Structure 1
Amino acid sequence: MKKYDAVIIGFGKGGKTLAGFLAGKGQNVALIEKSDKMYGGTCINVGCIPSKKLVDSTKVLKNKRLDNVEAKEKFYAESIDNKNALIGALRGKNYEMLASKDTVTVYDGTGSFVSKNVVNVENNGENIQIEGEKIFINTGSTTIIPDIKGISESKHVYTSTSLMELKELPKKLTVIGAGYIGLEFASMYSEFGSEVTVIDMADRLMPREDEEIAERVKAILEAKGIKFLLKSKIEEISDRNDKGYVKISGEMGENEVESDAILVAIGRKPNTDGLNLEAAGVKTDERGAVAVDETLKTTADNIWAMGDVKGGLQFTYISLDDFRIIRDNVYGNGNRTVNDRNVIPYSVFINPPLSRVGMTEKEAIEKGYEVKTGKLEAMAIPKGKIEGVTDGLLKTVVDAKTDKILGCTLLCNTSHEMINVVAAAIKAEQKYTFLRDMLFTHPTMTEALNDLFGSVK
């Protein structure tokens, strides 16, 4: 049995970065990945990068001003090809980056625990076992498939992964779930030219977001032609006449939605099936995520977990920070923990993108803060007018007693870039006047922060 200083199960952001770091220290590392289509992890292959590449293609499509359906369908097929070419290149680069190192061995196959130090790797019926002094779980997450009658039998049901492989643009797309993933895909496919219907049991969009912002998102998406069927329960999915049909019930009684493609987007869950965690003494929490402490150590003293598999926020940059925490605690001075992550910005790539950091006004009040707020319409931003993207609303929440920024939500052009500036100011514990009076280049979207924070009262 071959022995390694470290065995990493999963080729995701945290795992691959850790493998490179350990190789640089001269350690022998085994990296296990069950699919040769997943080198580099979820983000590169089936998540952030391919979806944002397609989002970028919709902007190109808008500039082309293609009016007829055939031209749009051809452009969509070309966009899928371009996305696949990009992903293939990135995947290959990620593989070679590690496989070319003398101290890294990449194992193709499914990893599962035999004991807390021994991992079995199964590939096409063949099994080998390897031993690791330290073991790191980085197996990511997988799409949740709800228990709906007919969902497994339908040939028109897709996940976010499989939908992006579809070369033919669906004329009618039904999205099950109005969460962040569902809204991103609804926005994107609407831009490509699909007729999009979104179904959800909730009574409003984005219940965790500021209500005014969420209503603005709904209005913007409806203006693109997206139809929302909220407070609706899905009773059954069936196929007939080469179409998929989603039967729903709600306040308006029963209804049926005809679809060329049905996207399941109700969320993702930690990917722990088949790991045989019990054999290693690794416990999971009530949601099925690998249980970890503040340093990401599991209930086994030589095993850590990083990325989506441990639950919590499912962002690539969280996985990268998980690596930093493990690097500092397992191989460094032990200064970093998950408790240091008190400022985490995020973006939802609808058009225009929604980005947020910190609390909403409602959350701040519920936590006992006395607040001041600021608000700015996106149409007031010169750079937005230059680029022809004027939809949206910007809001911020400030502690009235200390003038510290409690939170900020930006629904506007390039908000995914702007939010990082606000996050940095919050992390540095600056008062809102810091951004109000900051010198920004002109014309830029970021200079709108002058006006947003200048409106605080």
Structure 2
Amino acid sequence: MEKYENIIIGFGKGGKTLAKTLAAKGQTVLVIEKSQRMYGGTCINIGCIPSKSLILNGEKKLTFNEAVEHKEQLTGMLRNKNYHMIADEPTGKVLDGTAKFISDHVLEVTLPDQSTIQVEGEKIFINTGALPVILPIPGLQNSRYLLDSTSAMDLSELPETLVIIGAGYIGLEFAAMFASYGSKVIVLDANPSFIPREDDDIAEMIYRDLTAVGIEFHLGVAVDQIQDKTNMAEVTYTENGTVKKIAANNVLAATGRKPNTADLGLENTTIQVNERGAVVVDDLLKTTAEDVWAIGDVKGGLQFTYISLDDYRIILDQLTDEGTRRVSDRSVVPYSVFITPPLSNVGLTEKAAQKANINYKLFKFMTAGVPKAQVMEDAKGVFKVLVDPDTEQILGASIYAEESHEVINLIALAIKAKLPYTMLRDHIYSHPTMSEALNDVLK
């Protein structure tokens, strides 16, 4: 049995970065990955990078086939780079195979030829990510026209008509992206409210803008069944008591993701999972087994690649430094939804502040007043910033505007540093930029 100082199960962002760092320090590191197409993890292969590449090239009006070719070249380059990032280290090794725990520190790995080997790690890091959730709708699971957030990235032909089940953030990104290439997109969701987490005024703007490009929404509906026909899927749903049917080339299930733990053999260990199947960790990302950690989506919570990267920092701090970093320190986390224009948030929305009876001063500014938005010929949207009237510190921001995903990081930094909003208001920005809007937004 081969023994390693460190074994990392899965090639995701936090795990691969930890592997590279530890191997560069001369420690033995084994990364086990079951699919060669997943070298580098979800983000670069089936998540952030390919989806944003398709979204961007849709905005550029490339054909779908051209955009897919660009996406494949990009992910292939990154996949190769990530493999060699580990494999080229003298003490690093990448093993193709599927890992299963035999005990807390011993793994059985099923290799591509179905043979098995066992490996032992002094320290083990579970980094297996998450899988799409497929709702138990009759006929959906076995439909040959079914797509999920993973298989949608492998499409080579543009669906003429696409039904998306789920109007959450993932569903909206896919809806906007496929619509930009010319697909007829129909979105079905059980919730009668559109993106209810967001402020109502912003939700109304986004709904209006997405329907303006041809996306069709049916909210508060029940999807009853999926039936495969000769060349199409027939989707049956109930809306306001009326049974309706839609024929579609594909049905995309965008109904969330769940931690990928089912086949890890955790029942053979002292590692605990919660009711959702997520690995239970403490404030240092330690599992209930000694010298075993969990990184990224597999532990539940926010499913962002930058959270996985911060997990790496927390763990590395324990292994090489003072171990003072904690999950509980992670109080300021921005997020973006890459529709056109993108929606970005950090901290409190106005709706959340009202619900919590938090006193705030609201700064609101329409994107049409930003010169750079006019230059980019997309002046849709709004800036909203909430400020504590007593401390003058920023409580949160919601930005629906071009390049909001860049501006939100500036605001997040100000919140983290507890700067008064006047620092952003009075700052000298380059011109023309979207960030300079803060001079006007915060007046």
Correspondence 1:436 to 2:425: yes
Counting only pairs closer than 5 Å after superposition, residues 365-376 of structure 1 correspond to structure 2 as: 365-376=354-365
Which residue of structure 2 aligns with residue 218 of structure 1?
Answer: 207
- Partner amino acid, structure 2, of 1:237: I
**Deviation, structure 1 residue 16:** 0.5
What is the number of residues matched between the two proteins?
442
Correspondence 1:118 to 2:101: no
Counting only pairs closer than 5 Å after superposition, residues 20-169 of structure 1 correspond to structure 2 as: 20-61=20-61, 75-123=63-111, 124-169=113-158
Alpha-carbon separation, structure 1, partners of 2:230 and 2:276: 39
2:331 to 322, 339, 342: 342
TM-score (norm 1): 0.95
**Is the contact between residue 279 and residue 294 of structure 2 (CA under 8 Å) also seen in structure 1?**
yes
Alpha-carbon separation, structure 2, partners of 1:8 and 1:185: 31
Q: Secondary structure at the match of 1:85?
A: helix
Alpha-carbon separation, structure 2, partners of 1:57 and 1:31: 33
2:301 to 312, 324, 334: 312
Alpha-carbon separation, structure 2, partners of 1:276 and 1:46: 25
**Deviation, structure 1 residue 436:** 1.2
- Partner amino acid, structure 2, of 1:15: G
Which residue of structure 2 aligns with residue 427 of structure 1?
Answer: 416
**Is the contact between residue 262 and residue 277 of structure 2 (CA under 8 Å) also seen in structure 1?**
no
Correspondence 1:330 to 2:319: yes
Alpha-carbon separation, structure 1, partners of 2:424 and 2:326: 29
Q: Secondary structure at the match of 2:233?
A: strand
**Is the contact between residue 425 and residue 439 of structure 2 (CA under 8 Å) also seen in structure 1?**
yes
Q: Secondary structure at the match of 2:154?
A: coil
**Is the contact between residue 161 and residue 184 of structure 2 (CA under 8 Å) also seen in structure 1?**
yes
**Deviation, structure 1 residue 119:** 0.9
Counting only pairs closer than 5 Å after superposition, residues 278-289 of structure 1 correspond to structure 2 as: 278-289=267-278
**Is the contact between residue 24 and residue 89 of structure 2 (CA under 8 Å) also seen in structure 1?**
no
**Is the contact between residue 103 and residue 269 of structure 2 (CA under 8 Å) also seen in structure 1?**
yes
**Is the contact between residue 6 and residue 133 of structure 1 (CA under 8 Å) also seen in structure 2?**
yes
**Deviation, structure 1 residue 449:** 1.2
RMSD: 1.1
Alpha-carbon separation, structure 2, partners of 1:51 and 1:342: 27
**Deviation, structure 1 residue 273:** 1.5
- Partner amino acid, structure 1, of 2:84: E
Runs of 4+ aligned structure 1 residues displaced above 3 Å come to none
**Deviation, structure 1 residue 252:** 5.1
Q: Secondary structure at the match of 2:6?
A: strand
**Deviation, structure 1 residue 440:** 0.8
Structure 2: stretches of 5+ with no match in the other structure? none
Correspondence 1:392 to 2:385: no
**Deviation, structure 1 residue 150:** 0.6
**Is the contact between residue 370 and residue 401 of structure 1 (CA under 8 Å) also seen in structure 2?**
no
Alpha-carbon separation, structure 2, partners of 1:10 and 1:292: 17
